[in-house]
Amino acid sequence: MAQGLFIVGFTIAEVLQIQAKAKEMLLEGKTLMQWGDGGSNATRQFAMPVKEVLEECAVALRALDPDTYGRRRRVSQSIVPPFIPL
């Protein structure tokens, strides 16, 4: 279950960037992310599984911009007893 890890201290642009990277990794079947900065390269393993990252991103986007990404939906269930003929 998502915990809202990307809500506080993250901008929508940052969350979208994290989401895009996680989606790229998922589509490529990778568990490592790589990046370069100023001639140096680094490889790191994502701190959490890609599935969890995508879930956290979805929760954060709904919280940060509910008009664009939708409000959190609650699912309710009502139980109707089965019909038993007499």
How sure is the predictor about 72, in pLDDT bands with cuts at 50, 70 and 90? low
Reported as a single tens digit per residue, the pLDDT across 6-60 is 999 999 999 999 999 888 888 877 665 555 666 666 666 656 788 888 899 999 9
HEC readout, the chain: CCCCCCCCCCCHHHHHHHHHHHHHHHHHCCCEEEEEECCEEEEEECCCCHHHHHHHHHHHHHHHCHHHHCCCCCCCCCCCCCCCCC
Domain boundaries, the chain: 12-65
How much is the pLDDT for 51? 85
